[in-house]
Structure 1
């Protein structure tokens, strides 16, 4: 698998990841990602060079996506924590055709490796407050639960982190282009 930085032209595919994941999650009985995410928000992340796609080959459709940035959600992380040396995983999604292949684990390992390579101490994420299956997945991959914001207005209030660390993630990253601007 290769990892490439998403481009503006990838926006329809990134939105499809969300709608496909929402449909699958609905079958599992959760409303995670049921509300459409603003395309403008995803596009802004793409323009900042924070969105990545995993592909079998450059010409193939994306198998998965991950956003890695410094954007701490202040409804989840305290101002002190947000000021800490951390990177944040957002919008991790794997196409159902690749479910069970370990691709999500690979992406988390790459994100932790990338955070360590850039000198960040923590790899953090937040997850849907009511999705215990997803929370268990992250815990099984080395994340420690920090807190859960139970405010009804905060749907992704389960916060977790693990130390960033170098890892053999298995991605060919030679195709990663530097972000524009």
Structure 2
């Protein structure tokens, strides 16, 4: 399978929402509803607004597997406002939002390819800190996934409804 990465744009929003919905469906099938619930994210107005807002604030990347959109992330200069209570890093950073893959491509390395691309784009911009946050509950698999891609845990936090989160950082 050939993976290529390109910049995304407004025309990619439906594909991105489809990837997010695929993740919700997969999580529900695993009995892991604590992360994103059971409702497709494309049906949640706040999620759609968040995807579009981060796209406007930064650069969205799409990983294609043999020409088919398979994964996405958006890279901006700061975390979301929901992390404003955490200490700022005190240096320029790039922040990853909405990393998701169409679960048909699970295990093919599309997410890791995007994370490597985000690290390279961060380095190219002359910035040495790349951060991301994620769901830290249940079995901790998502945190370990980021750790396997070169990230280290920094700040743990609790979002609304006792949702456990973890910020991770990677030096590039």
Q: CA deviation at 1:156?
A: 5.9
Q: Which runs of 5+ in 1 are unaligned?
A: 165-181
Aligned residue in 2 for 1:122: 129
Aligned residue in 2 for 1:174: none
Q: Which runs of 5+ in 2 are unaligned?
A: none
Aligned residue in 2 for 1:145: 153
Alignment of 1:43-82 (within 5 A): 43-56=52-65, 60-76=67-83, 78-81=86-89
Q: State the TM-score, normalized to the length of structure 2.
A: 0.81
Higher relative strand content: 2
Alignment of 1:85-124 (within 5 A): 85-124=92-131
Q: CA deviation at 1:152?
A: 4.4
Q: State the TM-score, normalized to the length of structure 1.
A: 0.78
Check 1:154–1:72 CA distance in 2 against 1; reply closer, same or farther (3 A cut): farther
Aligned with 1:163 (options 130, 148, 171): 171
Aligned residue in 1 for 2:12: 10
Offset from partner CA, 1:30-75 (integer Å, 9 cap, x none): 2223363532222233344521111246xx4311111111131354
Higher relative helix content: 2
Per mean C-alpha deviation after superposition, the further-off stretch among 98-107 and 41-50 is 41-50
Aligned residue in 2 for 1:20: 22
Structure with greater contact order relative to length (CA < 8 Å, sep ≥ 6): 1
Query: May I ask how many residue pairs the two structures share in their alignment?
Result: 161
CA distance in 2, matches of 1:154, 1:61: 36
